[in-house]
Chains A and B, each alone.
Chain A
Amino acid sequence: MDIKVGCDLVHIGHFKQSMKRGGRGFLYKIFTQAELAGASKPENLAGIFAAKEAVIKALGKVLKLKAGDWKKIEIIKKRNGRPEVQLHEFNDKILSRDVSISHDKEYAMAVVVFILT
């Protein structure tokens, strides 16, 4: 059994700037349609981005996830408001997972934990 953890901090102001300058292409590169539909503010998206980064940090080597594979990770909000990490591959290697996202005025952060077989 192996535990992998990852975390990331995103400056919301920088994120908003990149969003404005990068436009459609930028958003569509990182987020899936479901994520875009579910996020009402840029802060939410910044939090989702932080979560994806955290996942890559935690599982990057194990899953051979590389930069650019943003949409292979999906952060879905469950009905009770809690976010959940969905991966489109390697789910059989993962016994358990959890993610937590938070944002304050300037920063968004995320922490993910995976328990692997």
Chain B
Amino acid sequence: MVLTNILEKNAKEHGNRTALVMKMGYRTVSLSYGDVYEWSKRVAVFLERQGLQREDKVLLLAPNSPYWICLWWGSILGGYVPVPLNIQSTSELVRKIAEQTGAKVVFKYLHYKQPLPSNLSVFDAEFLNEIVSKSEGANFRKPPIKEKDVAELMYTSGTTGDPKGVILTHKNISSNLEAILKIAPIAETDKFLSILPLSHIFEQVIGFLLPYAKGAPIVYAHSPAAIRDLLREHRITTMAAVPEFLRVVMMKIEAQAQEGGKKKMLEILMKISGAMKLKLLQRILMRPILKKFGGRFHTVISGGAPLDPELEKKWNALGVYLLQGYGLTETSPVVSSNSYEDQRVGSVGKILPGVEVKIAPDGEILVKGANIFQGYFQNKEKTKEVFIADGPSTALGASWFKTGDIGELDKEGFLYLKGRKKYMIKGPGAQNVYPEDIELELNKIPEVKDSCVVGVEKSGGQVEIHAVLLGDIKDPEKIITRVNKKLSSYQNIAGWSIWPREDFPRSATRKVKKEEVLRWLKASKIPTPPTLVGTPLTRLLSEITGHDVSGISQKTKIVSELNLDSLLRVELVSRIEEGLGITVDEAKISSETTVLDLEEMIKKSPDGRSPVGRQEPTQKAPPFKNWPLTRRASLGRMLTQILIIFPLARIFAKLKIEGKDRLENLPLPAIFMPNHVSFLDSLFLLMALPLKIRRKIAFAAAEDVLYEQYKNIAWLVELFFNAFPFPRHEHENIKAGLEYMGRLLDKNWSIAVYPEGKMSMTRELLPLKRGAGLVGVEMDSYIVPVKISGTADIMPAGKIMPRKGGQVSVKFGKPIKFKKSDSYIEVTRKLEGVLKEL
């Protein structure tokens, strides 16, 4: 099957259903199957205009997002070949790949600022809707695509040595997809959360194509910190994860139980649950924990690295199906997997239907099937190395692919992995020693955060089993002795070291890069465990300023003595923010500031994560109120407005409306920005709006005015004008106000906000607040400038009682849509200009 069938079928059968969701900035982007198809067509047209020819490569160097998906589909739809790259790729790697593939185009992300080859056309994925807005989907002409055509090029690991591009055809991937669907029924009521990078085949097939093919929506996590909330908010049912993630989450669950004094109870519950056979009963028992995940979470598919059987049992005991699978990029990717029907703890499951597996005499797993890749791109040598025969040939029947993993099949057909062939160490009596087994034992010790066991060649040809430990290890010898007791004598660890950095070098799937660790070992003559010097703060200062850690004391003046110039100061502050989630005011760092002063600043600072690097608030975010948006409240509001308030207003004033025709085809929700001269402005704006918009509009009310000065009637205003708190001063929680606004817009409510930030006493337009530009750019909606005049005559600024009658005029200006790439300051000025002209 050609993969694009999935794209077209879903667009046709349920084009309106939500396919992809992601919070981007303050708004949630939600694309339906129809939208994705439309955008993909536009991407294809856009790429054609860029001069791409059939099978030309398109580099994708961006993080997960609905836009990534459209770029991927669009490239394939147009007959081009997407090359998904890990976003942490160095510019050197990108250069090599660009050269090898002859790519002309790269889609990167906004803050990837590393140099890219100058012959590439570079686009930012975040601005996709603007990039393709000029391309007409109707102009798309579908090229003939066959199953055997190349679908994509996947580059596997290789920051060292030369990257290898795995060629995958439509048939490779679709055959795997079909086989997986046979053993893992996905329903369209399922909801997937995507946390692993789409540049990895595991997430692509399991976390994207699998749910997409079945019409199950996918939510993309916009930040690791948001995962828990997303699971709950969207009531996620399924996700693909790596063992590292599962380990961390389980640790958090246990830590929370510990804090609440419920650790013992949790252990007992898990024990009982583990003994139960029925998943349903388990879920009832573990309900309080499952509720934290949204209550509907039922399946995790684990892959990418070996899963500790103890961890597997714990997750299963939670009432969740933890299905471990096995495969490689070269096998599209699944070779075997546990399923709802057939599960064995510690095994990677039964072989997938349609895939053949044979165990070589030395234990290596060999695979044959429609899912085997076509070879490494322009690398016949490396391709030959991994096949038994001269490469994948269909004429004589496909050859066997050498996975490089050692394993065995039991009588029932379950596959068990022993370890990676190249990491295997030969014991003193030629036994096979799998470092993975030793690492498993080492990692069980609480002090050991992680471990890496390698075979180090000694003089005389002997290989020493050497363990590199990660963590704050006080007595490594004791640990090694303890673990050695649990291992067979030929597995015993002979030498050990402690990794001197905060973490091992890792791959995209968080696997430890053993080659690099081995290289480090060989380089340092005597692996003496160097303990980390200084405190995290002094180490950070040392890294940034280049001064030796031992020379930095608490009395050291960071600016004058360490040469911390303004550039390094920004780096320091932003790294403290990212590392600790704590904001430090740059302005407070002067030439006299010492390390001790800095430590004090950090301790006293309010805790708060600002993922986009904006200033943090001192107040809490106001809770989102749903009740004013309900049908009942809306109805009550509308009736009161029509029956009481509006007629009353008409006694005092005649209303003249101009520019109402401009609102006729206005895409909703929209944001109205009027000038502000009287408290009556909101009332007359409401009266002037057409019913369609009036029904669903919320007013941004100055927090300090409404909720403090007039807090007694605040609830009234909230009800009749559907007001929500919005800060207007720099020190207030602006971000929270914007998040609130974004949520209202997501629910299709239009907004009215006064960009001046306060009432003008003089009827002259006041300079607009910076937030006006921000709202214009970030909220992804049309802005309608409004000129209100006459209200100040009836009820002057600041007064709450009308003085006399008069005429009020409400004039709607031309709606403007700004681009995400526009400057906030420029937008603010433009709006100011437009309002003045009205």
**Chain A residues within 8 Å of B, Cβ to Cβ:** 10, 14-15, 18-19, 21-30, 32-42, 45, 49, 53, 66-68, 70, 72, 74, 76, 86-89, 91-92
Asked if B821 and A34 sit within 8 Å, CB to CB, the answer is yes
Interface size, chain B (Cβ < 8 Å):
40
A49→B569 CA distance, assembly (Å): 13
Q: Which of A30, A38, A49 gathers the greatest number of chain B CB atoms within 10 Å?
A: A30
Closest Cβ of chain B to A76, distance in Å, is 6
Asked if B613 and A25 sit within 8 Å, CB to CB, the answer is yes
**Which residues from A are CB-within-8-Å of B767?**
89, 91-92
Q: Could you name 23 residue pairs across A and B whose Cβ atoms are closer than 8 Å?
A: A18-B544, A18-B568, A18-B570, A22-B571, A22-B575, A23-B575, A28-B613, A32-B824, A33-B820, A33-B823, A36-B110, A37-B124, A37-B820, A37-B821, A41-B115, A67-B586, A68-B573, A68-B585, A68-B587, A70-B570, A87-B825, A88-B828, A89-B767
Asked if A28 and B612 sit within 8 Å, CB to CB, the answer is yes
Asked if A14 and B567 sit within 8 Å, CB to CB, the answer is yes
Of all chain B residues, which has the CB nearest A90?
B767
Top 7 A-B residue pairs of the complex, sorted by shortest distance between their CB atoms: A34-B823, A28-B613, A68-B586, A25-B574, A66-B587, A37-B821, A67-B586
Q: Which of A34, A70, A89 gathers the greatest number of chain B CB atoms within 10 Å?
A: A34
Of all chain B residues, which has the CB nearest A84?
B826
Q: Select which of B110, B570, B585, B770 is within 8 A of A33 by beta carbon.
A: B110
**Which residues from B are CB-within-8-Å of A49?**
567
Asked if B613 and A34 sit within 8 Å, CB to CB, the answer is no
**Which residues from A are CB-within-8-Å of B822?**
34
Asked if B574 and A26 sit within 8 Å, CB to CB, the answer is yes
Residue B127, interface by CB 8 Å? yes
Q: Select which of B127, B578, B587, B770 is within 8 A of A67 by beta carbon.
A: B587
Interface string of B558-574 (1 = CB under 8 A from A): 00000000111111011
Residue B577, interface by CB 8 Å? yes
Of all chain A residues, which has the CB nearest B113?
A42
Asked, given contacts A34-B822, A37-B110, whether A21 binds B127 with beta carbons under 8 Å apart, the answer is no
Asked if A34 and B824 sit within 8 Å, CB to CB, the answer is yes
Residue B512, interface by CB 8 Å? no
Asked if A26 and B823 sit within 8 Å, CB to CB, the answer is no
Asked if A25 and B110 sit within 8 Å, CB to CB, the answer is no
**Which residues from A are CB-within-8-Å of B440?**
none
**Which residues from B are CB-within-8-Å of A53?**
566
A38→B130 CA distance, assembly (Å): 15
Closest Cβ of chain B to A92, distance in Å, is 8
**Which residues from A are CB-within-8-Å of B577?**
25, 29
Asked if A39 and B113 sit within 8 Å, CB to CB, the answer is yes
Closest Cβ of chain A to B552, distance in Å, is 17
A10→B567 CA distance, assembly (Å): 9
Closest Cβ of chain A to B54, distance in Å, is 29
Asked if A30 and B115 sit within 8 Å, CB to CB, the answer is no
**Which residues from A are CB-within-8-Å of B578?**
23-25
A33→B124 CA distance, assembly (Å): 12
Given pairs A18-B571, A28-B111, 10 additional interface contacts (CB within 8 A): A21-B544, A23-B574, A24-B111, A29-B574, A29-B577, A32-B825, A37-B124, A37-B821, A88-B825, A88-B828
A25→B614 CA distance, assembly (Å): 9
Asked if B113 and A67 sit within 8 Å, CB to CB, the answer is no
A76→B169 CA distance, assembly (Å): 45
Residue B589, interface by CB 8 Å? yes
Residue B365, interface by CB 8 Å? no
A87→B829 CA distance, assembly (Å): 10
Which residues from 612 to 633 on chain B have a C-beta closer than 8 Å to any C-beta of chain A? 612-614
Residue B543, interface by CB 8 Å? yes
Asked if A74 and B823 sit within 8 Å, CB to CB, the answer is yes
Asked, given contacts A25-B577, A29-B574, whether A19 binds B824 with beta carbons under 8 Å apart, the answer is no
**Which residues from A are CB-within-8-Å of B612?**
28
Q: Select which of A24, A28, A86 is within 8 A of B825 by beta carbon.
A: A86
A86→B253 CA distance, assembly (Å): 49
Q: Which of B114, B589, B825 gathers the greatest number of chain A CB atoms within 10 Å?
A: B825
Interface string of B569-595 (1 = CB under 8 A from A): 111011101100000011101000000
**Which residues from B are CB-within-8-Å of A86?**
823, 825-826, 829
A89→B824 CA distance, assembly (Å): 13
**Which residues from A are CB-within-8-Å of B573?**
29, 68
Closest Cβ of chain B to A100, distance in Å, is 19
Asked, given contacts A23-B578, A29-B574, whether A45 binds B113 with beta carbons under 8 Å apart, the answer is yes
**Which residues from A are CB-within-8-Å of B820?**
33, 37
Asked if A27 and B111 sit within 8 Å, CB to CB, the answer is yes
A32→B825 CA distance, assembly (Å): 10
Of all chain B residues, which has the CB nearest A25?
B574
Asked if A27 and B113 sit within 8 Å, CB to CB, the answer is yes
Asked if A19 and B113 sit within 8 Å, CB to CB, the answer is yes
**Which residues from A are CB-within-8-Å of B544?**
18, 21
Asked if A35 and B823 sit within 8 Å, CB to CB, the answer is yes
Asked, given contacts A25-B577, A41-B115, A88-B770, whether A33 binds B571 with beta carbons under 8 Å apart, the answer is no
